Amino acid sequence: MMKLLVSALVAASASGFGVRSPISTASSSTSTALFGKPKVFIDGEAGTTGLQVRDRLASRDDLEIISIADDLRKDEGERKKLINEADVVILCLPDAASEQAASWVEADNDRTVLIDASTAFRVADDWVYGFPELSKEQREALQNSKRI
């Protein structure tokens, strides 16, 4: 599972996802606005999978990991806000919670890439299964997808 998530993140980053220009006002973060670091939000960061993903991404200086405060983890409004502020959201949630969180991406948000660790979207038509090793076409599909 970890290899799948990291592979999907690497494939998504190869397409230049989420890199903002220095004059972007969409970001509340100075480092993102000035340096173009993609913002990654791990929804379910406190769970087993979320902790592993965070640990693997923590040493990367080319990403900005945004976190939700412990007391706001169940706050839908705060989670929606962070999902829509992030360039990449990794959903480390049970199936039903992943489906709900995916529905929170605002209609005019064509920037945020969702990577789901659950089985909720594994065979969904508008999601790409996250194994770039399957074929060259699979790698290309991952690079162009907003839903992995």
The 10s digit of each residue's pLDDT in 26-70 is 434 444 455 589 999 999 999 999 999 999 999 999 999 999 999
Is the pLDDT score of 94 beyond 80? yes
Distance, in Å, from the CA atom of 12 to the CA atom of 20, rounded to the nearest integer, reads 15
14 token code pair: 């190869």
What angle is formed at CA 114 by the lines to CA 111 and CA 120, rounded to 5 degrees? 150
pLDDT at 53: 97
- Residue that has been written with the tokens 């902790």 in this structure: 51
Domain boundaries along the sequence of the chain: 2-144
Beta bridge partners of 88: 40, 113
Residue 130: pLDDT band with limits 50, 70, 90? confident
CATH number given to 2-144: 3.40.50
What angle is formed at CA 37 by the lines to CA 91 and CA 109, rounded to 5 degrees? 55
